Amino acid sequence: MSVLTRNEAQTRAQLLDVHRYTVDLDLTVGEETFDSRTVIRFTAHAAGDTFVELKPETLRSISLDGQPLDPALLDGNRYPLAGLGPGPHELTADAAMRYSRTGEGMHRFTDPADGETYVYTQLFMDDVQRVFAAFDQPDLKSVFDLTVTAPEAWTVLGNGIAARTAPGRWTIAPTPPISTYLVAVAAGPWHSVTTEHAGLPFGIHCRRSLAPHLDADADEILSVTRDCYDRYHEKFDEPYPFDSYDQAFVPEFNAGAMENPGLVTFRDEFVYRSAVTDTERQTRAVVIAHEMAHMWFGDLVTLTWWDDIWLNESFAEYMGYQTLTEATRFTGTWVDFAVDRKGWGYDADQRPSTHPVAPDPDAVPDTASALLNFDGISYAKGASALRQLVTWLGEKDFLAGINTHFARHRFANATLADFVDNLASATDRDVHAWAGTWLRTTGIDTLTARTQDTGNTWTLGVEHTGDRPHRIAVGTYDHMLDTQSGADQLVLRDRFELDIPQDDTPATLPGRRPALVVLNDNDLTYAKIRLDPVSWDTALTRLSGVPDALTRALLWNTARDMVRDGELHPAAYLTAARTHLPHETDLAVVHGVLDFAATHIADRYTAPGDRPAALACLTSLCRDLLRRTEGLTAKDWEQRSDGAGPGNPAPGLRLTAVRHFIDAATQPDAIQDWLNDGTVPGGPELDPELRWRILTRLAVLGATDEAAIARELAQDPSATGQEGAARCRAALPTPEAKAAAWQAMFTDDTLSNYLFTATARGFWQPEQSDLLHDYVTRYYPEATALAERRGAAIAEAAGRHAFPAYAIDPHSLRLGTDALDDHELLPALRRKLTDQLDDLRRALGVRNAH
C-alpha cells in the first residue's frame, strides 16, 4: 500500500475542495467482506491530475461525473483521476471491502462468550481507505452522510445520531466538516445505557456479554463524562460542536481510545469484569477526559499535516489530567502522571528515535513516518511542556489563546505557527521563543541542587544542564518527631519559585540547611532532578515521611532515573521500595514503584544470578503490604474502595500486593493453594483476572499443564479467557509448547491482534532462557517477514510484545543491530526494534555499571 507523502497532500489540497461524502455500507453480505458504495462531491480549482485512495477486496465499478472508469486502473490503494477539469465533480465507487482481524479499518469480532458478532471502524491515519473511497488526508475536511445496512438485531452507532429507518437499515445524521480519519461506525447487538445531558443524548455501549459489568460502572462513567463536559464548557467559549456523545467500549481495540467526534471508541478492557484499584479507575477517567478534550482540539480544529500530532495529543493529555483534577473526585491525577506517564516521556526522549515535540515538517515526509511519533514525546513530554507553559504564562492567558485558536479555525485546520500566534495574541510574553526552545528541541534538561550550610544561613544553587527555561518551585523540608507514633516525619518549611536560568545563581537563605531540598517540588516542569548529597541521604531513609504524594512521586522518579543512568544500584532501589512502600498511602505511587521494580529491576537490570534475590525482595515486600491490609471485611470489598470510592484504600493496596506477589513467586505452593481455594486468605476472592494470572505464573514455573488450562478456559470461555489460555500455553516450559506458540505467532497468520499479543506475552520468560535460546536468533528474520505480510498493527505488536526482552546479552544486541540494516524493514517494526534495542543496550550498561 502506497503511503501518502506530505508533498502529495499539499498538492492535492491546493487542487481540491471536498464537500460531501455519501457512504452506504452493507454489513450483511458475509463474514469476510462487506459492501461499500461511496459518492464524493468535490470541486477542482484548476485542471490537473490527482488520485483517490481505496483498498478493496474487489472494486466492482467506479465512475466520474456519470462516466464509467476502468476498475483495473486501481494501482495498489490508489485510483488515478487524470485530466480533471476545473469545477464541480462527482466520483462514485462500488466495492467489496475486507473485514479486519487486526484492529485496522472495519474490525470484525465474534464473542466466544455468546457467539454474537460486532464490527467497528478504526480509520486513523490512513485506514479509511479500507472502508470506503476517500481523499484521505486531514486537511480535506468534508461533510459525511452515512447509511448502514446491518442484521436486524443489531444497533448501529455513528458520528451523529443514528436512526433506524427500516428493519436493518440505519441513517446517521450528517456530520459537520470533519477529517476522513475521524469517521466512525460501530454495529452489533450492543448493550447500551443512555441518558441526556445539556440537551444532548449521551450513551455508553459494550458487547452484551459485558453488560453486567458496564451496568455496575455506568453511574461512574457517566458522572465523569458529565463533569468533564461541564468543565470544558467553563474553559472553552466554543460549545461542544456535535449533536450527541456516545462512548463505545469495543473489542480488540489497538489503542486506548479514539476521539471520533460523537462516537469515541475505547478498548473494552475499560469495562472492568474483575477487581481493579482506584488508580486504574482514575486511568479510565483520564482517558474519558482526554478523548472529550479532542472534540475541540483535534476534531473541531484539526492538524493540517501529521507533523503537528502534538497539537492533538499533548493538548488532550494535559487537559485530561488537569480537567479531571478540577471536575471530579479524582484529585490526584498529577501524581499518577508523574509516576507513570512522565517516565514514558523521559524514556522516549533518551532513545535514538527521539524527536522534538513539534518536529520539523521535513522530518514527517509521509504517513508511515508520522505513525511512529505517537509516543511518549507527543503525549507525556508534550503535556509536560504545556503544563510548564501554563505555569509560565498563567492559565488565564493560556485559555484566552486557546479560545482564540478555536474561534479562528473552527471546523478547519491549523498548524504549530497558528497555535503559537494565537497564544501570543493573549500575552506580552515571547511565546514564539518559548516554543522554539521547548517544542523544537530534543532531550531532557537536568537540574541539580547545590547546597551549603553556613551556620545561621544556607545557600542554594541550581546547576542547569540544558537550554530550556524553567519555572519551578523549590520545597524545603525539616525533620519532625511524631510524638504519637515515634516516627521521624518531614514537614514543609517553605516552598518558593525560581526561574531557571535567570535565578540559578546561589541564593542565601535564612536558617540551617533543611534536611531535604527538592527542586521542581510540584513537578511543573519537564527535567531530570538531582538532589544534593544531604537531601539524597534523607530521601533514601525518610521518603515515606514526605508529606505530599506528588513530591514522593518526584523523588521516586529521581531514583528511577538514577538507576537507568547507572548512578544508583538496582538493589538500592529495591531496598528503598522494601523500606518505604509498606508505609505509602498513594496507590499510584505503589503501582508505579512496584511496576518498575518488577519489569525493569528484577526482569532486566538484575543479572540472572541475582534475580532470585530480587524476586524474594518483591515477595517479601508484598507480604508486608498484605499484612498491612489484613482484617478487611466483606463491607470493605462491597464498597469497592479498591475502585469506586475515595475512602479506605486498603482493598486496592491489597489487590496490588496480591498481583505482584503472584508475578514474583518462585515457588508454586502458595499461589497453587490460592487457586485451589478460590481465594487469597483474608481476601480477595479470585476473579477471572487473578485466576489467569496465577495460572500463567504456574505455567512459567512448570507447575501446571494443558489439562489445567483447558479446565480454566471451560470455566471462563470469554474473549479474555481465550487470551489467558493463549498466554498460559505459550508460557509452558516445554519444547512442544514453545514450538506451537511460535508457529501461531509467526507462521499461521490467523491470530487476531489480541491473541497474538497474549501469546507473545507468555512466550518469553527469564526463567526459561535455555529453552528459548534458539528462538532469539529466529526472531529477527521471522518478525521482519511477519510485518511485511500482516502490516503495521501486527508489526507493532511483534516489536513491542514478541521481542526477546529477557535476553540481555551482547549476542542479542548484535543480532538486532544487524537486523536494522535491512532497508526494507517496515517502519512500524523498525521503530519498535530501535527502541527495544536501545533499552537492551541500557540494561547492559546498568548491569556493567555495578
Is 291 in the active site? yes
Which helix or strand (DSSP H or E) is residue 127 part of? none
Cα separation, 308 vs 324, whole angstroms: 25
Question: Distance from CA of residue 300 to its chain's centroid?
Answer: 22
Q: Cβ–Cβ contacts within 10 Å for residue 324, how many?
A: 27
User: Of 328, 248, 324, 332, which Cα lies nearest the Cα of 293?
Assistant: 324
The beta strands (E) that lie in 123-209 are given as 143-149, 155-158, 162-166, 169-172, 185-188, 191-197, 200-206
Q: CA angle 328-330-335, nearest 5°?
A: 140
Torsion angles phi and psi, residue 675, rounded to 5: -65, -45
| Residue 647 DSSP class | S
Place of cell 504519637: 484
Nearest to 515 by CA among 580, 572, 565, 451: 451
| Measured distance CA(300)–CA(141) in Å, rounded | 11
Residue 722 CA neighbour count, 13 Å, CB half: 16
CA atoms within 13 A on the CB side of 553: 26
Specify the pairing of strand 263-267 against strand 245-250.
parallel
CA 566 to the chain's CA centroid: 27
> How far is it, in rounded angstroms, from Cα 112 to Cα 251?
12
Q: Which three cell numbers stand for residue 505?
A: 545563581
Q: Identify any residues that bridge with 92 across adjacent strands, giving them in sequence order.
A: 39, 63
Round to whole Å and give the CA distance between 368 and 125: 9
Choice among 259, 280, 291, 689 that is catalytic: 291
What distance in Å separates the CA atoms of residue 674 and residue 583, rounded to the nearest whole number?
A: 26
Q: Rounded to an integer, what distance in angstroms lies between the CA atom of residue 180 and that of residue 127?
A: 9
Residue with cell 527555561: 469
Q: What torsion do the CA atoms of 247, 253, 255, 257 make, to the nearest 10 degrees?
A: 0
Cis previous bond, 501, omega within 30: yes
Cell numbers 464541480: residue: 88
Residue ranges with strand state E in 363-430 = 412-414
Question: 728 with 709: CB under 8 angstroms?
Answer: yes
CB-CB neighbours of 128 under 10 Å: 26
Grid coordinates in use for 84? 480533471
Q: Is 438 helix (H, G, I), strand (E, B) or coil?
A: helix
List the grid coordinates of 375: 509516543
Distances (CA, A) of 558 to 584, 618, 683: 17, 20, 34
Q: CA 11 to CA 40: how far, in whole Å?
A: 19
Judged by DSSP in three states, 592 sits in helix
How far is the C-alpha of 62 from the C-alpha of 711, rounded, in Å? Answer: 53
Q: 769 to each of 8, 607, 609, 805, 837, how far by Cα in Å?
A: 49, 13, 13, 11, 18
Q: Give phi and psi for 768, each to the nearest 5.
A: -115, 30
Q: Which helix (H) or strand (E) holds 449?
A: strand 446-453
Q: Please give the positions annotated as active site.
A: 291
